[in-house]
Structure 1
Amino acid sequence: MANKPNPKVVEICKQFILSDEDMKKISNNFLADIKKGLAKETHPKAVVKCFITYVTDLPDGKETGDFLALDLGGTNFRILSVHLENRKSEMINEVYELTKDKIVNTSVVLFDHIAECLHNFIVKHSLQDKLLPLGFTFSFPLVQVALDAGLILKWTKGFDAKDAIGQDPVNLLREAIKRKGGMNVDVRAIVNDTTGTLIACAWKDPNCRLGLIVGTGTNMCYVEKVENAEMYQGDRTKEYVVINTESGNFGSDGSLDFVRTEFDREIDSKSINAGHQLHE
């Protein structure tokens, strides 16, 4: 016969069980925060920023060609070579480590390391003679101003290249590639990892309308009507635009305090960005 759970353990665990009413309140608070992020008047103070991605079209599965992808957003980063043809994909994938001396340093140190790894990947897989378009997945809060340009708002997940705040990561990457040399690469777009996930899944299933990441951090994006995205400054004849919610910051204004426990508070107090990214 199985032993009964320790009453003390049961008592501690009770506080992690949310009622239906709690879940409804969280849902309503989240929807209210999304609306604040989308609206011009409330966007500056919104905790769920709902950044515009400038991605207004999703793939239909008919795309063909050779592409590079660079995925930066955690303790490791990935470089991929992707071949698309006849609704099928072939992919080469390499993972590279990012040590603390690279991610807590200057932007030059960080991006020169990335460019070095990119060069090694290109040489290893004999891609030097091809002009390759590159998609840059950048999984940090970013104010996007075009499909291939944006401004770093802040670092999360233990990264802290302070001089990069307010700079364009695409430009930082392009300059690092230029310094390294020996690469025929054209950085065409920058997207959040949630947006990249949505695009990749939409290529396989055109009904996909939401991208979700649960990893080193958590975040989600979704397809919104352009008419509701008041911060969008692109072509307003487009019907839809992908919104990067930056939902990891949900609750940082106190809206989740009613379900936070002593353990949540202790973890937050010892994190590198205490008081922020509470949902994450």
Structure 2
Amino acid sequence: MTSKCKSKVCNPPEASSGLQVTPEIVAGCQELILTDEQIQTYMTTFLDNIQRGLKKETHPTAIVKCFPTYVQDLPDGTESGKFLALDLGGSNFRVLLIELDGGNCQMQSKIFVISQDLMVGPGTSLFDFIAQCLAEFSIEHGVAAETLPLGFTFSFPVMQKGLTVGILERWTKGFSCDGVVGNDVAQMLKDAIARRGDVNIDVCAVLNDTTGTLMSCAWKNRNTRIGLIVGTGTNGCYVEKQSEAELFDEPDMGSGNVIINLEWGAFGDDGALDFCRVKYDVDIDKRTINPGKQLHEKMISGMYMGELVRLAAERFTKEGYMFEGKGSEKLFTPDSFETKFVSEIESDPPGTYVNIKKICDGLDLINATEQDFVNLRFLCECISKRAAHLVSAGLIVLMRKIGEKKVAVGIDGTVYKYHPHFHNLMVEKIKQLIEPDYEFELILSEDGSGRGAALVAAVAARVKSKPT
């Protein structure tokens, strides 16, 4: 834990052929390598943002919103019974039947496709379709006659007013259904189920995928206090004392804690991250459908990571430092460099170029040399390492805020799952920066948005059944 790289320059790896990253590329990428001083500024500013989001007085103008989820209790391993889960976060959604028995979990699920017409049509039509799918699934699995608790993962921006009340703030991901923004999505689902009249489902919790990730991991590891998504987007949540969460306005019916949904993708929307943003970040932001918004997310998540690499490669090519200064039409086309390319390139063992050669061929980079392969891999490493270090710094702030010396972090998302080094980069950075008496563990979530939703429902049912 004592080794630190205080300077901006960390020596790039040497290829087995003896080739090293060219000095011009190393120099040009230094702005992407966060210094210890920058990370400390990040952590100080992020903590201040959390405090603002938690307090009633400053919440309206806070960038990091810190919404109470109204999930007060974590799984304790005694949850049992059958539960339904509905996972809606895009054009495909899942219905799950989960049976819990102590430490055992049996899960059956089915994916349903939402048509483009439903995604942009009346909100009642969307929820009627979801209720229809729920009914079909319940009949198919022989539980239509039972009244089962359902956890509803709704991965769109909502303001929660209670465990079963989620007010949609805005649609994302291509949805624009009329009559939903400003309304309670849980109630709209209940109404759609009631209109059918053929199934009995108790919608007892609405949550986002980050909360589901925390709950899913907490079922297996009782030290889990943080949930994190690093995928197409990024967000985090953590367990906070109710006394600190001034927007939490329900009586304490459980642990005295409440899970806080940070909505940390918006961190920096007020300029707080300008000290470590670079021209690539600015260029990407200008071209998005939400310029000036979700700036933290745009430095980290899978939706943007590949494009960040492409912009860097385009710059160095036009400056004559890569691909003999010639590039290709594909390389110079926005979004042509997919984020999965970053993971594939960094999966090549040092000194080998199977994946990177295939990717360069696909981008019509006919002038690519082994030196270009070494340089392009370094660009990928700088972008992905910056993302991992930003996430790690945020987690350290949360660990210290929670105040427990042993904390597990449940993590889901394609970047964390499939990037070959993201986990190790995070572990290394957290060890470097956190105090020696902290113990932490990063856990890959097993179906957080599905099983986690059922666990929220299961915990709510368990707490409700307790004698008062």
TM above 0.5, yes or no, is: yes
Q: Which residue of the partner structure matches residue 193 of structure 1?
A: 209
Opposite residue 26 of structure 1, the aligned amino acid is Y
Partners in 2 of 1:102 and 1:25 — Cα distance? 45
| The structure with more strand, counted as a fraction of residues | 1
> 5 Å matches for 1:88-167?
88-161=104-177, 163-167=179-183
| Cα distance change, pair 25–76 in 1 and its aligned pair in 2 (3 A) | farther
Match of 1:174 in 2: 190
Instruction: State whether structure 2 residue 277 is matched by structure 1 residue 255.
Output: no
After TM superposition, the structure 1 = structure 2 runs for residues 193-272 of structure 1, keeping only pairs within 5 Å, are 193-236=209-252, 239-272=256-289
Flag the 1:36–1:150 CA change in 2: closer, same or farther, 3 A.
same
- Separation in structure 1 between the aligned mates of residue 259 and residue 31 of structure 2, nearest angstrom: 36
- Equivalent residue, structure 2, for 1:49: 65
Match of 2:40 among 24, 34, 38: 24
Task: State the Cα distance separating 1:79 from its structure 2 match.
Answer: 1.5
For the residues of structure 1 that align with 2:114 and 2:25, how far apart are their CA atoms? 38
In structure 2, C-alpha distance between the alignment counterparts of 1:118 and 1:6, rounded to whole Å: 57
How far residue 213 of structure 1 moved from its aligned partner, in angstroms, is: 1.3
- Residues 54 and 146 in structure 1, CA contact (< 8 A), matched pair in contact too: yes
Answer whether contact 1:40 1:231 (CA < 8 A) is retained: yes
My pick for the range that moved more, 64-73 or 86-95, is 86-95
Structure 1 residues 174-183 or 193-202, which shifts more? 174-183
Q: Write the distance in 2 (CA, Å) between the matches of 1:208 and 1:149.
A: 25
1-side partners of 2:84 and 2:223: how far apart? 25
Q: Aligned in 2, Cα 1:61/1:268: closer, same or farther, shift over 3 Å?
A: same
Equivalent position SS for 2:295: coil
Alpha-carbon distance change, 68 to 268 in structure 1, aligned in 2, over 3 angstroms: same
Cα contact 1:157–1:217 (8 A) shared by 2? no
CA distance in 1, matches of 2:152, 2:141: 19
SS at match of 2:132: helix
CA contact (8 A) 1:132 1:184 kept: yes
Q: 2:102 matched to 1:86?
A: yes
Task: Identify unmatched segments of 5+ residues in structure 2.
Answer: 1-16, 298-468
Paired with 1:2 and 1:165, the residues of 2 have a C-alpha distance of 58
Letter of the 1:268 counterpart:
D
Corresponding residue for residue 33 of structure 1: 49
Name the structure 1 match of 2:292.
Answer: 275
User: Structure 1: 5+ residue runs without aligned partners?
Assistant: none
Higher mean displacement: 107-116 or 95-104: 95-104
Question: TM-score of the superposition, structure 2-length normalised?
Answer: 0.56
SS of the counterpart of 1:114?
helix
- Aligned CA-pair RMSD: 2.1
Say if 1:83 and 1:260 are closer, same or farther in 2 by CA, change over 3 A. same
Q: Which has the larger radius of gyration?
A: 2
Supply the distance in 1 between the matched residues of 2:32 and 2:171 (Cα, whole angstroms): 29
Q: Deviations over 1:176-212 (max 9, x none)?
A: 2234443221111111211111112111111111111
Q: How has the CA–CA distance of structure 1 residues 2 and 86 changed in structure 2, closer, same or farther, with 3 Å as cutoff? A: same
Task: Decide which moves more: 147-156 or 177-186.
Answer: 177-186
Distance in 2, matches of 1:262 and 1:21, equals: 20
For the 8 Å contact 1:156–1:273, the answer to whether it is kept is: no
Percent identity of the aligned residues?
A: 49
Q: CA deviation at 1:96?
A: 2.9
Larger fraction in helix: 2
How far apart are 1:59 and its partner, in Å?
Answer: 1.3
Question: What is the distance in 2 between the residues matched to 1:124 and 1:8?
Answer: 62
CA shift, 1:61, in A, is: 0.6
Shift in Å, 1:6:
5.0
C-alpha deviation, 1:132, in angstroms = 1.4
Q: Could you state the TM-score of these two structures normalised by the residue count of structure 1?
A: 0.91
In the TM superposition, what whole-angstrom CA distance separates every residue of 1:67-104 from its partner, at most 9, and x where no partner exists? 00111223432221100013211011223334544334
1:206-243 CA-to-partner distances (Å, cap 9, x unmatched) read 11111111223211111111111111111147521111
